[in-house]
Amino acid sequence: MAKILVVDDDTDILSVMEILLSMKGFEVQVTSKGENALPKTESFKPDLILLDVLISGHDGRVICKQLKSNRETSHIPVIMFSAHPGAAASIAEYGANDFIAKPFDVNNLMKKVNAQLGINPA
Amino acid sequence: MDIKLLEKRKPAIEKLSSKFSVETQFKLMADYAPMPMWVTDIYDQSTFFNQAWLEFTGRGIEEEYGKGWMEGIHPDDLNKCLKIYDAATQTHKRYTAEYRLRRYDGQYRWVLENGVPQFTSEHVFDGFCGSCVDVHNIKEIEHRKDQFIVAASHELKTPLTSLNIYLHLLSGIFGSGSQEKFNHYISGAIDQVDKINGLINHLLDLSKIQSGSLELECSVFSFQALVKSIVKKMRVIIPSHEIILNGKISGKVKGDPERISQAFENLLSNAAKYSKEQDKIIVELYEDTKNVKVSVTDFGIGIAKEHLSKIFERFYKIPGKKEETFPGMGIGLYLSQQIAKKHGGKIEAESEKNKETKFTLKIPIHKSSVKHK
């Protein structure tokens, strides 16, 4: 079972993402605190990270860059998301693998998740 | 100046001309004008600056002559300006340019410059005459408004994201027979609708305050009882923080309990929002002969002194790498302050960057309740 870590400062988003992704058969962990992103990644060892751009006191893009520059975590694909217009334009240089704008279509999100994990949905 | 206009004004000018030369008259007028003005020759060299220009830049006329004025233009704006000037000098057409000009105190201020070509009586191009208006404050407000629109759309989209997923889940679960899950998803969706509704109400309150149509439904009530009930409610809404309530007061206030609650709740949710890495918020009640007061103290990121006076302004969001990662539209404190003021009260803020932040809401004691004390 593929493991996904979701990082977002909005706890409502976290709880519904947890339901959604668990239902789709993933093992999910979530955190609303930016400073927990790296330790959680090290302990949980996710196969994919969904990372918000603005996380109350932390810049998700900086977290992404840290993940990508760490040898232990650099291989983990990161999909960033944001409701902030214009956020998409700035994420590539931080090493994120993909971006999805909020509010997103669930099918579209799942397509991106599966693509990053190399899953071919039946 | 326009030749036709000159001819029209000829009698008046001739009357003045008996006293002063036209050049002296122009200089007199220009020096009395409140906005910075200048004149250039056909080679785009400056030959005149009025008093307002020299006062604005704080430089001597000798420093400004020729191309000296270029030193005052913000380096990032200079190229853009030179292009506009070159084009205008070649085409002999009127132009406008917006750029930052260094003021006497070193601050770069946005100015809007209007340049008008001058012609001799033989219709030969004779350089430009221009004036500048300080549009810095307008630009700042415009910028803040643009940021507000971005922030508001971000805030509204966040609950929509959750709502969207809940509805997607519902469409999947519907008919599968799990009543418990069905109820959970429905209430999740309803909560998000409530959040969007709350955000829209904030926007509506904002326009009500702007238009002066915010009505208060007043009654006389115990301030302490109101604060206690809100603290109780917010302890459920903010489980991440322990809200400690200290102090006892007896003063009653006359006001709209809903609105005062709104202002106080806003202070509490801000305290939690900006102290994510802490787990304590202190609420203190006290009173003097005139006012009841409730303060909310958090131990979060703090507010630098230079922003303290601006945080109650509409759409103001504290700039900074860390500060800008927090959600919000920049209207909560503005609304809260306006509510306090409508009650004859005030909210005051004390803080420093990376230090504790204390907001105090002050409402006047209702007079007849003082007599009964």
Summarize pLDDT for B267-304 with one digit per residue, the tens.
999 999 999 889 999 999 999 999 999 999 999 999 99
pLDDT at position B15 is 64
pLDDT one-digit tens code per residue, B323-366: 888 999 899 999 999 999 999 999 999 999 999 999 999 999 99
Radius of gyration of chain A measured on its C-alpha atoms: 13
- The residues, ordered by sequence, that sit 6+ positions from B324 with a Cβ below 8 Å of its Cβ are A54, B317
pLDDT value of position A93: 87
Would you call B276 and A102 a contact, using CB atoms and an 8 Å cutoff? no
Residues B58-88: pLDDT tens digits? Answer: 999 999 999 999 999 999 999 999 999 999 9
- Chain B contacts to A (CB-CB under 8 A): 150, 153-154, 157-166, 168-169, 172, 185, 188, 191-192, 195, 273, 276-277, 301, 321-322, 324-327
Domain extents for chain B? 33-134, 139-211, 219-371
Strand B95-102 with B291-298, pairing: unpaired
For residue B192, the chain A residues in CB contact (below 8 A) are 12
Test A103 with B164 for CB contact under 8 angstroms: yes
Top-level class of domain A3-114: alpha beta
Per-residue pLDDT, averaged over B255-266, amounts to 96
Partners of residue A24 in chain B, C-beta under 8 Å = none
The pLDDT of residue A14: 96
d(CA A90, CA A99): 10
Question: Contacts of residue A86 in chain B, CB cutoff 8 Å?
Answer: 150
pLDDT of residue A40 exceeding 90, the answer is: yes
- Say if the Cβ atoms of A59 and B172 lie within 8 Å: no
- ipTM entry: 0.84
Percent of chain A topping pLDDT 70: 98
Q: Are B299 and B280 in contact (CB under 8 A)?
A: yes
Do A13 and B161 form a contact (C-beta atoms < 8 A)?
Answer: yes
- The answer on pLDDT for B372 being more than 50 is no
Segments in chain B forming alpha helices (H):
3-8, 10-17, 22-32, 51-57, 61-64, 75-91, 136-173, 179-211, 223-237, 257-273, 305-308, 332-342, 367-371
Query: Out of B166, B172, B325, whose CB is closest to A16?
Result: B166
Chains A and B form CB pairs within 8 A to the count of 81
Give, in order, the Cα–Cα distances in Å from B197 to each of B47, B182, B204, B302. Answer: 61, 23, 10, 29
Examine the pLDDT at A37 and tell me if it is beyond 90.
yes
Dihedral angle sign, alpha carbons of residues B67, B73, B76, B77:
negative
* pLDDT level of residue B14 (50, 70, 90 thresholds): low
Contact criterion met (CB < 8 Å) for B327 and A10: yes
User: In the prediction, which pLDDT does B180 show?
Assistant: 83
Hey, CA dihedral for B363, B364, B367, B372, is it positive or negative?
A: positive
Is pLDDT larger for residue A78 or for residue B177?
A78
Find, among A5, A86, A17, the residue nearest to A53 by Cα: A86
pLDDT greater than 80 at residue B220: yes
Residue A122: what pLDDT? 54
Give domain B219-371's CATH number out of 3.30.930.10, 3.30.200.20, 3.30.565.10, 3.30.70.1090.
3.30.565.10
Answer for the pair B25, B12: CB distance below 8 angstroms, yes or no: no
Nearest residue on chain A to B277, judged by CA atoms? A33
- Tell me which architecture the domain covering B139-211 has in CATH: Orthogonal Bundle (1.10)
Contact A83 B153 (CB under 8 A): yes
B309-323: pLDDT as tens digits: 899 998 898 988 888
The answer to whether B168 contacts A35, with C-beta atoms less than 8 Å apart, is: no
pLDDT digits (tens, 9 = 90+) for B112-132: 999 999 999 899 999 999 999
Contacts of A28 in chain B (CB under 8 A): none
Chain B residue with the nearest C-alpha to that of A33: B276
CATH 2.170.8.10 fits B33-134, yes or no: no
In single-letter form, the type of residue at position B359 comes to: F
> What's the CA dihedral at B331, B334, B339, B342 to 10 degrees?
-140
pLDDT tens digit sequence for A93-111: 899 999 998 888 899 999 9
Question: What is the pLDDT averaged over residues B157-181?
Answer: 83
For B301-328, give one letter per residue: b (16+ CB within 10 A) or e. Answer: bbbbeebbeebbebbbbbeeeebebbbb
Nearest Cα to B234, choosing from B204, B273, B208, B192?
B273
Reply yes or no: is the peptide bond before residue A103 cis, omega within 30 of 0.
yes
Local structure of residue A35 (DSSP, 8 states): G
Is A83's CB within 8 Å of B150's CB? no
Q: Using a CB-CB distance cutoff of 8 angstroms, which residues of chain A are in contact with residue B165?
A: 16-17, 19-20, 106
Q: How far apart are CA A29 and CA A45, in angstroms?
A: 10
Paired strand residues for B357: B298
Dihedral sign of CA atoms B157, B161, B162, B166 in order = positive
What radius of gyration, in Å, describes the C-alpha atoms of chain B?
A: 30
Best mutation target among B148, B157, B279 (most A Cβ atoms within 10 Å) is B157
A45-68 pLDDT per residue, tens? 999 999 999 999 999 999 999 999
In the predicted structure, residue A13 carries a pLDDT above the cut 90: yes
- Nearest CB to A12: which of B153, B162, B172? B162
Average pLDDT score, chain B: 89
Mean pLDDT score of chain A: 92
Cα B251 to Cα B178, B346, B348, distances in angstroms: 52, 16, 20
* pLDDT (average), residues B22-27: 78
3-state secondary structure of A81: strand
